[in-house]
Structure 1
Amino acid sequence: MNEEQQWRARRAFIRAHHPDRGGDAAVFIAGLARLDHAGPPEAFDRVRVIVVRRRPLVVRLIRALSRRCRRRSARVC
């Protein structure tokens, strides 16, 4: 499998199994790890999966409010 075919296989897997599209997160992460190690090591060195946990609602609201207040314009927040 050449590098172009590996990229196509990876994109097809992501489209089919991404958690935002109803796929299982554990299957998605395991599949990407398998695809990362299937080809030559240098082929996917520039691609990494980063899982970001969602912050609690209170933290998100406080951060949004603090950002809004930092962007002061002519109006007072």
Structure 2
Amino acid sequence: MRPDRPEDEKAEYRRFVRAHHPDVGGDPEVFAEGIRRFQAARDRPAAPIVFVRRRRGLPGLIDSLRARHRRRHRPPRVR
């Protein structure tokens, strides 16, 4: 069920929906199971998701101003 290209995967999903959607006479249980299969087969992010908590209030404001200053006053990347 894992085609090599995303276009093939999208086309396979659309064919399934057109054939099994309850609005066109398909079985709702078969449709729901097929949707679950497609959702389970989707690619997951390769890198772990990381949440960053920033300081709030005056310390957070000072941190953001310092970061902005560093970004604006760093040497150019292109020479």
Give 1 or 2 for the bigger CA radius of gyration. Answer: 2
Q: What is the TM-score with the length of structure 1 in the denominator?
A: 0.50
